[in-house]
Structure 1
Amino acid sequence: MRKMIMAAAAVLMGVSTAHATEIVIQYPYGELFNGTHQQIAAEFAKKRPDIKVTFRAPYDSYEEATQKILRESITKQMPDVTFQGLNRIRIMVDRNIAVPLDDFIKAEKNFETEGFHQAMFDIGTQQGKVYALPFAISLPIAYYNLDLVKKAGGDPNNLPKTWDEVFVLAKKIKALGSDVNGATIAWDITGNWLWQAPVFSQGGSMLNADESKVAFDGPEGQFAINVFARFVRDAQMPNLTQPDMRAAFAAGKTGIHFTSTSDLAKVTEMVAGKFQLKTHHFPDVKPGVGRLPAGGNLGVITATDPAKQKAAWEVMKFWHGPEGAAIMAKTTGYMPPNKKANDVYLKDFYEKNPNNYTAVSQLSLLTKWYAFPGENGLKITDVIKDHLQSVVNGQRAGEPQAVLKDMARDVQKLLPKTRS
């Protein structure tokens, strides 16, 4: 009898596997997320053998992710689930690519007990409907090499709270040697993220309320563009790529590095105990009005077949649920938006890993990562990046306000005419 039962089970398993619904996933930044998604997929397979998850080669960046999904929507070659930057849901909805999730959410019982909550839904909401769920959330933070801080006469227990203090310390660190960098900033992170951060930190915005006019050229933007110029003038920041900045910091050659929490796991691994690493808050966030843009990515269902959409929802529930979110937090520097992941699965994690808690302590400052409107939204991102590059490469570091004026003029030309 036992042999008969085992044989029957094997037959059923074979049938289940043979008829498993395949869900194809594509996500960005393989160097950060390959291990994460593989681990989540392995756990998901244990619970849902009736759904087979396969991965496409990762997108190189959020920009490539959006451009590729726009092309694939025309050729009908989209994956079933795509992970896009938080600031890209707007264009996904405008192009009728993202599948609304409201009916799936309403059909769930006790969804809140699994850590899903309104704030999660709000991040992926456009035009009154939920089109995406946030997967990984990041905020800008500072990374400090405490060994260099001490050598430069800084106090590891009283790290800079303002940009003035940052650049005073950076000068001292730079004076330690010609092969030492005082401070660097990953200024060209996708979507102008670290341009928005200092602007938002002062209470500013990218455009005015009806999105008809540039607003980043006011006092807040003037403050922000001067910060970028000071990295060159005061900190003598070298003209490095993001990976090279990360490598220089991890090698012990940079005292202060500003980037996303998403780099934390990778940087910690690269540092490998060569020096004492400490993360710290983003400087000069104006009390009461200052905010910081939430970075990271969200999951979007793009499958057009109803059966595929149903299976894709099961995948998203697990990926964004407490188990998937906890794996994501432990394997990256990102924060999980899922409440149960934080309260239950990661209860002791932040106590043992205080560097990961820095961004969590800034959650009250979180605001949306802004996406520019209209057909030229992606082009505006590139225009801003080009102008910022003229400052950080030293070419126009001596005239940041002129750069800001030119940047505002060029962005204004690309805004939708119907809004002007």
Structure 2
Amino acid sequence: MKYLLPLAASAMLLAPAAYAVDIEVAYAYSSVFDPTFERIMEAFETAHPDIHVTFRATYEDYEDATNTILREAVADTLPDVSFQALNRQALLVERGIAKPLDPYIAEEEGFETAGYHKAMLDLSSFDGQIYGLPFSVSTPIGFYNMDILRAAGVETIPTTWDEVVETCRAINAKGEHDAIFWHWDISGNWLLQAAMWSQGVPMIEDGKLNMDNPEGVRALETAKAIFHECAMKPVSGGDASKQFAAGDLGMFFSSTAYVGFVDRSKLGDWDFVTAPYPGIDDAPKALPAGGNSAMLTSTSDDPEVLEAAWQFIKFTTSGEGAAAVALTTGYVPPNKVANDLLMDNFYAENPNKLTAVNQLPLLSEWFAYPGDNGLAVTQVIEDSLESILVGDADDMEELRDEMVDEVNALLPH
């Protein structure tokens, strides 16, 4: 079991000496969401002074979140509330770890008008029941240091990956900065799924890996071009985001979630711009929806604990909670009421956060690989991408065939 940690010392100092009920909460990506929960807790403690929230050590990423909660389920040490990736919810439902929220929703007068987008609720609905409330929704976007691009003679933001590669060459020719990081190992093979969806092709079809086609080869060839023709360094996404914020990286392709981090961490007076995610040949036909939802995972029999956990889930995903997400990250608020709480000119003053909002019409499914081997499938695909990155794989059609065979052998028959 992970150690229990308070989110912030200030929250401890402001907390009352005694509480009616205690709950435990866990979420992923400390660098992204710590400021969000600090803001939320200031309001939550005022609204619910009788509830004490202890935050467990942050999950490193969404795979860690799922692996951790599966272990905790066996050890009977589950948190009361867990924030899990949208594409991992089904596994927790199938294992009986997540509990349906419908009984609590039924007690909420006017819940259907509480601002929750039906399309967002549908992302967390299984067999006619709601198992999670959406907390954050993201799309992949491009981050650009326009000072570096202009110094390399590039005045126009690239819109296709071929144009991205040409921009890389121009930046590398200057020899003053690294050109690019494409977050290839981000959770759930998200950007490879984006490469498939960009071509209008789903990553999973009929329960199988749907890359045994020309689009699958093209997706891997695009990754190869980014890695090698752009001379991309094999660093972590976290290190790359810091390098970008420091003004030493020309282009960074990842989740809109990092907009808030870059805004907070940006060093120097350089021109930071976000833009729509590049496509293969032309604009993307679709993109996978990223993000996470709040799920009730408590094993408590105490109705007060369960009610407190529900109040926390409801508050964090409400208009106020969703507004905090928008203010502190680059995520899109999944609750319509948040837009009323944000200042009218919020996106006018924060145009880098508008990019993801404009891409919402492209949102498509972020696939979870079915069956008990879903996490293993994620790793197989990540290992295949890494083999391109380090130069162990050169023939993309051969690699595609090996990956499809290995993945489909792990999927349910």
- If the length of structure 2 is used for normalisation, what is the TM-score? 0.91
Q: Distance in 1 between matches of 2:142 and 2:283?
A: 21
Deviations 1:247-284 (A, max 9, x none): 33223332211111111111223323431110010112
From the CA coordinates, give the structure whose radius of gyration is larger.
1
Query: 2:70 maps to what in 1?
Result: 70
Q: Percent of aligned pairs with the same residue?
A: 43
Is this contact kept in 1: 2:141–2:255, CA < 8 A?
Answer: yes
Q: Partner amino acid for 1:175?
A: A
Is this contact kept in 2: 1:181–1:235, CA < 8 A?
Answer: no
Segment drifting more, 300-309 vs 380-389:
300-309
CA shift, 1:18, in A, is 4.1
1:185 aligned to which of 138, 158, 182: 182
2:255 aligned to which of 246, 256, 260: 260
Query: 2:50 maps to what in 1?
Result: 50
- Residues 58 and 194 (structure 1 numbering): CA distance in 2 closer, same or farther, change over 3 Å? same
Residue 127 of structure 1 pairs with residue 127 of structure 2: yes
CA shift, 1:119, in A, is 1.7
Query: 2:13 maps to what in 1?
Result: none
Query: 2:153 maps to what in 1?
Result: 153
Deviations 1:202-253 (A, max 9, x none): 1112222x31x32123122222111100012321112222122223322333
Query: 2:4 maps to what in 1?
Result: none
Residue 271 of structure 1 pairs with residue 266 of structure 2: yes
Residue 309 of structure 1 pairs with residue 298 of structure 2: no
CA shift, 1:45, in A, is 0.9
Query: 1:170 maps to what in 2?
Result: 168
- Secondary structure of 1:335's match? coil
1:406 aligned to which of 390, 399, 402: 402
Give ranges in structure 2 of 5+ residues lacking alignment.
1-15
Is this contact kept in 2: 1:203–1:220, CA < 8 A?
Answer: no
Q: Distance in 2 between matches of 1:167 and 1:289?
A: 17
- Secondary structure of 2:231's match? coil
CA RMSD, 1 decimal:
1.9
Query: 2:292 maps to what in 1?
Result: 297
Deviations 1:279-311 (A, max 9, x none): 010112788982111111110001232332222
Is this contact kept in 1: 2:320–2:341, CA < 8 A?
Answer: no
1:217 aligned to which of 204, 212, 220: 212
2:357 aligned to which of 360, 370, 375: 360
Query: 1:230 maps to what in 2?
Result: 225
Q: Distance in 1 between matches of 2:17 and 2:128?
A: 38
Query: 2:374 maps to what in 1?
Result: 377
Query: 1:391 maps to what in 2?
Result: 388
Is this contact kept in 1: 2:142–2:254, CA < 8 A?
Answer: yes
CA shift, 1:389, in A, is 0.2
Q: Distance in 2 between matches of 1:274 and 1:186?
A: 25
Is this contact kept in 2: 1:17–1:50, CA < 8 A?
Answer: no
Deviations 1:320-375 (A, max 9, x none): 00111111211112111011102442532111000010111000001121100111
Q: Partner amino acid for 1:173?
A: I
Query: 1:105 maps to what in 2?
Result: 105
Query: 1:205 maps to what in 2?
Result: 202
Q: Pairwise mapping of residues 33-44 of structure 1 onto structure 2 (< 5 A)?
A: 33-44=33-44
- If the length of structure 1 is used for normalisation, what is the TM-score? 0.90
Deviations 1:387-419 (A, max 9, x none): 1001122332x32222211111110110112xx
Q: Distance in 2 between matches of 1:233 and 1:286?
A: 19
- Residues 271 and 298 (structure 1 numbering): CA distance in 2 closer, same or farther, change over 3 Å? same
Deviations 1:138-173 (A, max 9, x none): 110001110111112212xx4111111111111111
Give ranges in structure 1 of 5+ residues lacking alignment.
1-15
Query: 1:195 maps to what in 2?
Result: 192
Q: Distance in 2 between matches of 1:278 and 1:74?
A: 45
CA shift, 1:379, in A, is 0.3
Count of matched residue pairs: 396
Q: Distance in 2 between matches of 1:309 and 1:339?
A: 26
CA shift, 1:193, in A, is 0.8
